Amino acid sequence: MAKIDLKPLSLAELNALKKRVDKAIERHDKQRKTKALAALKAKAKELGFSLGDLTSAGTSKPKAAISKNNKPAKVTHRHPDDASKTWVGRGPRPQWLRDELAQGKDVADFKV
């Protein structure tokens, strides 16, 4: 690879060069993906499948796993003045709880 001296280039010239390089990289990646996809489709066809047949295989969960995991979590914390403000104890704390904690209260004060 030829070494390019970038020192004499202005900021505008460097930014223009950067855009050209980014576009060249995108084109290169797109060509590689297109070739890879064509090779995968050809191999799938050789084996008697379409690529869609193979990529969708095994993506659905068994019914037992779906019915087990779709129950909503139970509320574990509730605002004392507004019962509609709740938290299940998972994920980030809601703003109302963060506000109360900032006033010096303890998270245990809001347990249900």
Q: All domains of the chain, ordered by start, with CATH?
A: 11-54 (no CATH), 66-110 (4.10.430)
Residue numbers of the chain with a pLDDT score lower than 70: 57-69
For the stretch 77-82, contacts whose Cβ atoms lie closer than 8 Å and that sit 24 or more positions apart, written own/partner, are 77/107, 77/110, 77/111, 77/112, 78/110, 78/112, 79/110, 80/109, 80/110
- Contact partners, residue 29, CB within 8 Å, separation at least 6: none
Q: How far apart are CA 73 and CA 76, in angstroms?
A: 9
For the stretch 22-26, contacts whose Cβ atoms lie closer than 8 Å and that sit 24 or more positions apart, written own/partner, are none
pTM: 0.44
In this prediction, residue 63 carries a pLDDT of 57
In this prediction, residue 69 carries a pLDDT of 67
In this prediction, residue 86 carries a pLDDT of 92
